[in-house]
Structure 1
Amino acid sequence: MAMVSQHTCVSFHKRTSETNYLLFEPSNGCASYVGLISGEQPIFVAPQCIVGNIAHEILHALGFYHEHTRMDRDQYVTVLPQNIMTGMERNFKMQYGQTFDLHYDIGSIMHYGSGFFSANGLPTILSKSDMKDMGQRKKMTATDIEKVRRLYNCGGTKKELKTEISGVEEEDEVLDLIHNVVSELKPIIEGSVSTNKPEEDHRPATAPPPASLQHLDSATRGQNNTN
Structure 2
Amino acid sequence: MSAPTAVAYFLVFVLSVHSIEANGSADAHSRSKRLAIHPSQWALHLWPGGVVPYDIASHYTDWEKAVILSGMAEFPKHTCISFRPRTASDKYYLAINKYYDLERCFSYIGRQTTFLFRTAQGNIETRMKLDPSCLRFNGRGTVMHELMHILGFYHEHQRCPFADYRDDRDPRVTGSSSHYNYKVYPRSSTFYMGPYDRTSIMHYNFPGIVYPRSYFSASDILRINTLYRCSQVMNRFNRFLNVIHNRILVRNRRV
TM range, smaller chain: 0.5 to 0.7
Q: Is the 8 A contact 2:78 2:233 kept in 1?
A: no
Q: Would the alpha carbon gap of residues 33 and 166 (structure 1) be closer, same or farther in structure 2, given more than 3 Å must change?
A: farther
Higher helix share: 2
Q: Give 2:191's aligned residue.
A: 98
* CA deviation after TM superposition for structure 1 residue 158, in Å: 6.7
Q: Give 1:67's aligned residue.
A: 156
Residue 146 of structure 1, aligned match among 222, 230, 233: 222
Q: Give 2:133's aligned residue.
A: 48
* CA deviation after TM superposition for structure 1 residue 105, in Å: 1.3
Residue 111 of structure 1, aligned match among 183, 186, 203: 203
Structure number with larger C-alpha Rg: 2
2:171, 2:143 → 1: CA distance? 28
2:224, 2:146 → 1: CA distance? 14
User: Counterpart amino acid of 1:97?
Assistant: T
Root mean square deviation of aligned Cα: 2.6
* CA deviation after TM superposition for structure 1 residue 142, in Å: 0.8
Q: Would the alpha carbon gap of residues 157 and 47 (structure 1) be closer, same or farther in structure 2, given more than 3 Å must change?
A: closer
Q: Is the 8 A contact 1:34 1:65 kept in 2?
A: yes
Residue 179 of structure 2, aligned match among 81, 85, 89: 89
Count of residues in correspondence between the two structures: 151
Q: Would the alpha carbon gap of residues 76 and 5 (structure 1) be closer, same or farther in structure 2, given more than 3 Å must change?
A: farther
* CA deviation after TM superposition for structure 1 residue 10, in Å: 0.9
Residue 9 of structure 1, aligned match among 59, 77, 80: 80
* CA deviation after TM superposition for structure 1 residue 83, in Å: 4.5
- TM-score (normalizing by structure 1): 0.59
CA offset digits 1:106-160 (Å, max 9, x no partner) = 121100012xxxxxxxxxxx44xxx4xx322211111111110010011149763
* CA deviation after TM superposition for structure 1 residue 93, in Å: 1.6
Q: Is the 8 A contact 1:109 1:137 kept in 2?
A: yes
Q: Is the 8 A contact 1:71 1:94 kept in 2?
A: yes
1:30, 1:165 → 2: CA distance? 35
* CA deviation after TM superposition for structure 1 residue 166, in Å: 7.7
1:69, 1:43 → 2: CA distance? 21
CA offset digits 1:155-201 (Å, max 9, x no partner) = 14976333346899xxxxxxxxxxxxxxxxxxxxxxxxxxxxxxxxx
User: Counterpart amino acid of 2:204?
Assistant: Y
User: Counterpart amino acid of 1:160?
Assistant: R
- TM-score (normalizing by structure 2): 0.53
CA offset digits 1:1-48 (Å, max 9, x no partner) = 111221101111111121111011115622101112221111111112
Q: Give 2:167's aligned residue.
A: 78
Q: What fraction of aligned residue pairs are identical, expressed as a percent?
A: 32
User: Counterpart amino acid of 1:34?
Assistant: I
